[in-house]
Amino acid sequence: MISYKDVLDLSLQGLNNSQIKGKLGCDRNTIRSIIEKATMMGLYPKGWESVSDEQLKKLLKKKTKPKAEYLEPDYEWIHKELCDPMVTVNLLWEEYQQVANAEGKEAYSRTQFFDKYTVFANVVKCGAHIKRRPADSLELDFAGDLLYIFDPLLYTRRSVVLFVATLSFSKLLYVEAIDRQSAVCFTYATMNAMEWHGGVCRILIPDNTRAAVIIASKKGLAVLNEMFREMGEHYGITVVPAPPRTPKAKPNVESGVNDAYHRILAPLRHCTFYSIDDLNDALWEQCEIFNNENFKEFKGWSRRSLFETEEREQLSQLPPFRFEVREKATATVRENCHAKCRLDEYYYSVPQNWIGKTVVLKLGAKDVKIFSEFGEFIYCHLRGTSTYDRYVTERSHLPSYMQQYVYASPEMFRDMAIAIGENTYQVIDRLFVIAERNDRAPEVEYQTARSIVSLGKKTKKNQWSSPYLLEEACRALVVLQPNPFVRIAFSHIKNKMTDIAGRTKSAEVSAFIKQGKPELDMFELLGGKR
């Protein structure tokens, strides 16, 4: 302990602070403070000798202010006042300051006030009781722990997910094991729950799973998964997702998940299931047993009896048709006028004007609907079923030149020929009749038939070509060769058309006109100009 009298004595002898520090081993600031306080009180350089060292310490010691008395907030009153939606913690802190000033006590700062109340609220864990109406809402969630079934083919365990749905009023519990937490499985499970209840509630309250909610927000509207939104519209139900990380927004299903663990899954813990259907049958049996158990608070009432008495009649009717769940995939239309659906690995045709563009394929149980990126409907195909042919094609989607190669057949060429005229039909028909009589495949005549039919179309090389000219050439050749088993070659028809086109006698023109051919076509037929 430093002696105050020794410090004053050494200073009076003429030693400076550093020298005193070397002798006594104390801090120079402490030495300076002792000398200054003794000088201010008139005890230095004379007067300190008659005072004892203990008295000198008391006289020179720094006087501390008495601690202020703080007013402790009434946390119970704060908690009760916050039940009013117009009251804020900041307003209650201002009122607390006024009370502290009136009582002559110190008030905690705003930060301390908030921190102390937060600690109190976390310990108390109070929450407002939400009064639910019958048939008001259905809460949905996934259980955190996975279930397992035994696959006898692979001789291994396969994990499945437990889906839980709870009515907010009667707390009637529904559970179902599904393959995974996908939008398709979640939508099917939700529909199964509503059909199990026998009606539709006013509101659906799902968790913020990606199967139902794409973008969640505490301050704005959530962006729903398109499939789940369409399902809600089909059943006339409003989907209101719970805010992120807020389990108190759906307390009944959170409690239902806990009940599912202890009252439904626990009795089945020693059972082995080999399919998801067997597992669901056991889950529904245990679920019905649990729903028929009486409440602890209300003797004589169970979830099932409360639902049957108060809630079943309040549910809205199910629509006459079940919502068709459609998986969605996007694809780019290829040069062969087909878009590949990655969901079933089939190729579906799209009209040729969509080549190179992106389309949306919505895969249903029986058909596939194709839309543009902006929702414009394009076409609907039946789903592909062939094991080997992965292409599902609508003939009209292909260009005409592609149809002639893809769908070439004797009947197709006969139809094209009869549209030109009877004589052209006879020429084309002879090709395939002769091929069949000689035991040859009809494909050997496809190119010839295609070339003959093309003579009826104008080209840059043959501006004089027309269906009427082709029909007249065929008529002339059929007259020359009336035998139906004599093949008329393409070169003969082309040469005949050239001969007819080269004629310019007016008598021949008049003869064509008398046969009922339009005048303009006759001039084109003969290469004339008007």
Cα–Cα dist 469/455, whole Å? 9
Cα–Cα dist 445/371, whole Å? 40
Alpha carbon distance, N-terminus to C-terminus of the chain: 134
Cα–Cα dist 212/97, whole Å? 47
Secondary structure in 3-state letters for 126-166? CCCCCCCCCCCEEEEEECCCCEEEEECCCCEEEEEEEEEEE
The Cβ-side half-sphere exposure at 431, using a 13 Å CA radius, reads 26
Alpha-helical runs (H) found in 292-360: 303-306
pLDDT band at 520 (very low <50, low <70, confident <90, very high): very low
Alpha-helical runs (H) found in 334-408: 400-406
* 147 pLDDT above the threshold of 50: yes
pLDDT band at 65 (very low <50, low <70, confident <90, very high): low
285, 292, 295, 297, 306 from 300: Cα distances, Å: 21, 10, 8, 10, 10
Cα–Cα dist 34/56, whole Å? 10
The Cβ-side half-sphere exposure at 123, using a 13 Å CA radius, reads 8
pLDDT band at 123 (very low <50, low <70, confident <90, very high): low
**pLDDT at residue number 513:** 45
Cβ atoms < 10 Å from Cβ of 52: 10
3-state class (DSSP) for residue 2: coil
**pLDDT at residue number 64:** 54
3-state class (DSSP) for residue 324: coil
> Looking at 93-97, 406-410, 492-496, which range is the least confident one?
406-410
Mean pLDDT of the chain: 83
Chain length of the chain? 530
* 424 pLDDT above the threshold of 80: yes
* 361 pLDDT above the threshold of 70: yes
- 137-314 folds as Nucleotidyltransferase; domain 5 (3.30.420)
**pLDDT at residue number 515:** 53
pLDDT band at 75 (very low <50, low <70, confident <90, very high): confident
Cα–Cα dist 141/190, whole Å? 10
Instruction: Find the mean pLDDT for residues 13-41.
Output: 80
Dig out the tokens for 111 from the structure.
Answer: 């930060």
pLDDT band at 283 (very low <50, low <70, confident <90, very high): very high
The strand pairing partners of 382, in sequence order, are 367
Cα–Cα dist 298/227, whole Å? 40
Task: Name which residue leads in pLDDT, 250 or 196.
Answer: 196
* 396 pLDDT above the threshold of 60: yes
pLDDT one-digit tens code per residue, 153-210: 888 888 999 999 999 888 999 999 998 888 889 999 999 999 999 999 999 999 888 8
Beta carbons of 362 and 369 less than 8 angstroms apart: yes
pLDDT one-digit tens code per residue, 289-325: 999 998 887 778 899 999 998 899 989 999 999 998 8
3-state class (DSSP) for residue 73: coil
φ and ψ at residue 195, rounded to 5 degrees: -70, -35
Q: Using alpha carbons only, how large is the chain's radius of gyration in Å? A: 48
Q: Kindly list the domain boundaries of the chain, sorted by start residue.
A: 4-60, 75-124, 137-314, 327-397, 408-525
**pLDDT at residue number 2:** 75
Task: Name which residue leads in pLDDT, 364 or 163.
Answer: 163
